[in-house]
Structure 1
Amino acid sequence: MDRIEVKTKAAAEKAIKEGRPIHIVGGKFALTLVGLAGIDIHVSADVSISLTDTRGVLVAKAASSPRIETWGTSSPLIETRETSSPRIVTWGTSSPLIETWETSSPSIETRETSSPLIETRETSSPRIVTRETSSPLIETRETSSPSINNSDSPVPLIFLSGFRWRIAISATRMAIGCQDHELARWWSFDDRLIERMDSHALEFWRANKAHLQAICAATGRVATAEAVEA
């Protein structure tokens, strides 16, 4: 089915009720959707969208400061591409998939949400906050200056890509490629031990150790990192 371009709230609501995929290309308005299934919405305009008990796909493309909220929703797919300062909030939502691509300064917040998968790619300065959220999975790829705060629930598992080796960080451990150690051990390794891991390991460690420590500090692993440096 062809995607319809719309510029007004009335046109958008009409097409969505008819079950048609839409592309919001103009206008400045708030859209509230309740109890719908199978939505397919692309956004390239300054709009605010609230989804309640609604399933489907929502993509923000080349838009400035879009605001997207989900309430009591199951498995929504929310994606931003080439977007500036989007704000995405999920409340009481199960298994949301949130992706940002080539996006600057996104703010992503989950509350009372189960099993969210949050992924950033080629994104600058994302702010990710999870509150009363179970089993969050956060992955950053080629992302600069991420801020991740999981204040009310266990420390999330974080994956980092775009490096020589894939990196996974849990509450107390970090795996870089095939090397998996307690965080305290990583911070205490001297150059000789790092160099024995791989011919490129020391160069990698010198370039990225401080960045990895900063991520651990920003995501609730401060005590482990500080204990070694004290």
Structure 2
Amino acid sequence: MEVPRRALPNIARPQKLHRMTVTLDITARFPGKDHNSTLQRPDMDRTYRKAIEAAWPRLVRDLVLKPTFLQRLRTHGVFSQEVLNIIQNEPTPVLQKSLMLKLLMNRDSRQFHQFCQVLSDSGYHSLARALEDPQTDQREQAEALKEEVTSLQQQNRLLARRVRQLEVDQQRTNKKLAEITAELRSKDSRYATQSSADEDLLKKRNRTLRELLEMEEQYRRRMTKQRDGRGQKLL
């Protein structure tokens, strides 16, 4: 007899799980009561964009993203904390500042001026002036560069005079050194001549002394013989 199979419970097949992707809109403004206001925000003035592009190298070079600076950006409504976290997640300071400037160019003119205010409050007055008044900043930079060039030219002239003076001093020193060398050589020559004459004189004196000693020895021998001869005669 066939045993009837037990009916399995009707279990619904689990649906396939899909990875949820969350995209953070880092270009949107802070949402207000009216959501459409974030979609109808005014774009940044083209002049301000050009100012950011012109000052980009100086901003990346001179700006330091300290915690107080980032806090001011959030307080003045330039970036939200989420956007600041994304900026800080970049691996290097250069990439952090580059991303910040790219995001700033997607902000409106009001936030651009707020960013300039943050720069001024943080002590970056020249950078703020370069963004808000690029023509005046360019004139000031040109004047500063002109003054620096003038100063370098003056320093170059002073160095040229110093080099010429050093060359004259070197020539005088070489001349004096040549005179001293010639004098020393002359003294050495005279000393060598005098030494040779003294040596010859010493040799002559030694020969004379030996001759005198020999004569004295001969005299003693002769006197000794004479005494011996007289003694024998007396005996």
Range class of TM-score, shorter chain? under 0.3
Q: Specify which structure has the higher proportion of helix.
A: 2
Structure-1-length-normalised TM-score: 0.23
Structure-2-length-normalised TM-score: 0.23
